[in-house]
A and B are shown apart, each in its own frame.
Chain A
Amino acid sequence: MTSALVHEPVPPQKAVKLEVVDMSKSFGGIAALASVSLRVEAGSVHALLGENGAGKSTLVKCIMGFYTPDTGAVMVNDKEVEIDNPRQAHMLGIGMVYQHFTLVPSMTVLENLVMGRSHVTAFIDWKKERAELSAFVDSMPFSVPLDLPVASLAAGEKQKAEILKQLYLNARFLILDEPTSVLTPQEADEILGLVRDMAHTGGITVLIITHKFREVLAYADEVSVLRRGHYVGGGKVADLTVDAMAKMMIGERDIAPAATRTERAPGVICLQVRGLTADDENGDAAVNGVDLDVAAGEIVGIAGVSGNGQSELVEVLAGQRPLTGGAITVQGDTYHATRAEMLRHKLALLPEEPLHNACVGRMSVAENMAFRNFDQPPFSKGVWLSKSRMRAEARGLIERYRVKTSSPDAPIATLSGGNVQRAVLARELGGQVDVLVAANPVFGLDFAAVADIHGQIVEARNRGAAVLLVSEDLDELLELSDRILVMFDGKIVYETPIEQADRTNIGRSMAGH
């Protein structure tokens, strides 16, 4: 708002070369970045690879001026620059597209683009702005409807609008943070292809943060790998193999081998959903008549781009959302997600964002671990609660599931994401499980935790549980499921046994074709 008065340097008009030299940043004594150096050539696509917590986002936040690095410098076109805030980054032609969209949902694309500018006149002449922006959009390789509210756009269009906004703001060095996590494979290919073409014609330089090797191989020219804050390798993608990159990314740690599904004939149908309908929080239909069966000893995976009714489906099964029609039966009995039914049918749930969906942040780890059976002996005698028994049981679970916590009495919100997930896992899978519903159970966790949790899910299945696994990560589904369903627009539109599963067909169904 005030910057209109300051004389601003004009951002560069062509692709920018950017170098990071010896950059370190620590938080409370823990080094998030340790002497990382990195060079991104002008007009190239550079991938920044690493697992969660490797320091990728700390690095780009330092580049964008969100953080001030402890040591090190950023060079733009071979000149050292000072970046204290995102605005200065923009002035240097550096722009970032965040993993989750930062356009204002209730405003139109046009309003978003105009307001993203650093100069906006006090009174806005929409006629003039629309004419200018239409001309700009026409000059770009992809277009977005200008007059629709962002909330009504599909994920792919939102992603395009985000990139368009950065280009409109003259970003010539574009940082894309996990840009494909909410897209179908086809949408991802389209957008990454367009961005790569723009880079190779010299218009922009691109830095993609990702953990998907497929995208690195297909679209990046060079790659840098971070592990635990250190630069551990990189180079021309053409010279590297997936194995080599994986080794750099994970290091020489032992990863528990992914549990293998034992051969077994599917048992009786445990979870049956018929004609299920449910609304989203705006009151619009989100689940439009879903039928599905999950047999004992089977993992049924549901693929789909987020926002196609999967989370609403899981919420109905979890009792967090009322159904508007249809029926659910568990082991032959009608199911209304009451506590008695959940206990009787040994139903377990691993929802996404466990702290948000399955925990009470300010209650202790021990209390959170007792949510399923606090009203059963030995935790209760009649109406009375036994806190000492809760603590004792929790100690056992903490030990068995390797939950890192200072004490069973620590509020669960003080634990790290992976440990919250483990605590929920301990609670849900600690006893006998007949039906398991899991939604994006490993989102945001590192390799070790992912392997661990996948192992637990497969083990539950091998013990005879009926598992419904909803995930936005197709690789996870392909690895774990016995059968894959695709959900689009609130309906199941495609089904395939794992033996015949094919990425292209699944991707096409995810886009509704």
Chain B
Amino acid sequence: MDETSIGWWGVPLAIFAGAIRISTPFLFVSLGEMVTEKSGRINLGLEGTLIMGAMSGYGIAYLTGSPWLGVLVAGLVGIAFGMLHAGICSLPKVNDIAVGIALMLLGTGLAFYLGKPLVQPQAPNLPSINFGWWSDLQQVQSALKINALFIIGVVLAPVFLWALRNTRWGLILRIVGDSSDAARAMGYSPLAVRLAATAFGGFMAGVGGSFLSLYYPGSWNEGLSSGQGITAVALVIFARWNPMNCLWASLLFGGASALGPALQSVGVTQGYYLFNAAPYVLTLLILVLSSSSHRHIAGAPGELSVTR
């Protein structure tokens, strides 16, 4: 890359491009987890689901040559993991957080086991749409190459917001998450709704994972995900269970994660690894600032265990 042409201007540009690239898995995982948490469950196992999605999406794309088929299969694998989580959680006296930890371990192990033969081969990547055709600058062009999944995610956020308020399914989800007693009294089965919501959350996390292996970084290896899943779960709390806030928060996190690489691109290599920790530090700071020891978080679903 030719840095000299725009010099330090490359930093905000790289952060912008990085924010969009890196935020995409955050966006999908957090939108899915938002739905799960709205139903009164938390699924910490999405970290494992994300990695399974990355592995299976990559494998299918490699075998069939179609990255979109890979995305679909990644989502289906996510559904399977979501249903496993919800299935165990529907047994009496099982804690959703513990099940999440177990699935984090299982998902990671399975992905590394099954994905071992996929480390070498190169699968086709997802397409992107070039919004930078008007510029001669190579940096601007590459920054405005926006991936298709991100655009889908951006569209989904307001659709979710609308659906939570104006559709029967959206309202049932809110009822179950806020008071399972009320839901039962109305004749809705909390377990069934949570099963669906967790399966959906798994689907979104699987798709988010496939983005990692099929677009950015765009290959499969065991270091692909380090905490994006768990960060996205925390991000939902920060977003106050509002889909639009999930979008803004994902972009913020994407921007924070892009800081290190962006600075590196202009030759600042000091503290590269610390900049890698930026999203975790940011998540933690935000959690600290948005929580309180003797107060419920405003907008939290009444049945959610983590906020009680």
Contacts and interface: CB of A to CB of B under 8 A. Distances in A.
B187 A106 contact: no
A124 B181 contact: no
B167 to A, nearest CB: 6
A1 B182 CA distance: 15
B289 interface: no
For chain A, the bracket of interface size reads: 20 to 34
A484 B168 CA distance: 49
Interface in B93-135: none
B21 to A, nearest CB: 35
B179 A102 contact: yes
A98 interface: yes
A371 interface: no
B85 interface: no
A115 interface: yes
Given A107-B171, A120-B168, A124-B166, A279 B294 contact: yes
B173 to A, nearest CB: 11
Interface string B260-301: 000000000000000000000000000000001011101000
Contacts of B295: 279, 281-283
B166 A104 contact: no
A107 B172 CA distance: 11
A3 B189 CA distance: 13
A122 interface: yes
B188 A1 contact: yes
B175 interface: yes
B182 A124 contact: no
Contacts of B187: 3, 85-87, 118
Interface in A95-132: 98, 102-107, 111, 115-116, 118, 120-124, 126
Contacts of B185: 86, 98, 102
A126 B166 contact: yes
Interface residues of B, number: 23
A174 to B, nearest CB: 15
Interface in A118-169: 118, 120-124, 126
B172 A322 contact: no
A115 B178 contact: no
A105 B294 contact: no
Contacts of B166: 123-124, 126
A118 B169 CA distance: 14
A281 B167 contact: no
Contacts of B1: none
B294 A322 contact: yes
A395 interface: no
Contacts of A322: 294
B185 to A, nearest CB: 4
Given A104-B179, A107-B174, A122 B292 contact: no
B167 A115 contact: no
A463 interface: no
Contacts of B296: 281-282
A321 interface: yes
Nearest to B169: A122
Nearest to A119: B168
A124 B174 contact: no
A111 B174 CA distance: 11
A87 B168 CA distance: 18
A439 B302 CA distance: 25
B53 to A, nearest CB: 29
Contact of A105 (B167, B292, B302): B302
A87 B187 CA distance: 7
Nearest to B166: A124
Interface in B161-203: 166-169, 171-172, 174-175, 178-179, 181-183, 185-188
B42 to A, nearest CB: 18
A116 B168 contact: no
A349 to B, nearest CB: 19
A87 B292 CA distance: 41
Nearest to A85: B187
Tell which of A105, A106, A126, A282 has the most Cβ of chain B within 10 Å: A106
Contacts of B302: 105-106
Tell which of A98, A115, A279 has the most Cβ of chain B within 10 Å: A115
Contacts of A279: 294-295
A103 to B, nearest CB: 6
Contact of B294 (A107, A118, A121, A321): A321
Contacts of B178: 104-107
Given A121-B168, A283-B292, A104 B188 contact: no
A123 B169 CA distance: 9
Contacts of A281: 294-296
A155 B169 CA distance: 29
A105 B174 CA distance: 10
A115 B292 contact: no
A182 to B, nearest CB: 16
B60 to A, nearest CB: 32
B167 A123 contact: yes
B186 A111 contact: no
Nearest to A86: B187
B165 to A, nearest CB: 8
A85 B187 CA distance: 9
A29 B30 CA distance: 50
Nearest to B175: A104
A1 B172 contact: yes
Contacts of B298: 282
Contacts of B172: 1, 115
Contacts of A283: 292, 294-295
Contacts of A104: 174-175, 178-179, 182-183
Contacts of B294: 279, 281, 283, 321-322
11 contacts: A87-B187, A98-B185, A104-B174, A104-B179, A105-B302, A106-B302, A118-B187, A122-B169, A124-B168, A282-B296, A321-B294
Q: Which 5 pairs across A and B sit closest by C-beta, in order of nearness? A: A283-B295, A102-B185, A102-B182, A120-B168, A104-B182
Given A105-B178, A106-B174, A121-B168, 9 more contacts: A98-B185, A104-B182, A105-B179, A106-B178, A107-B171, A115-B172, A122-B169, A123-B166, A124-B167
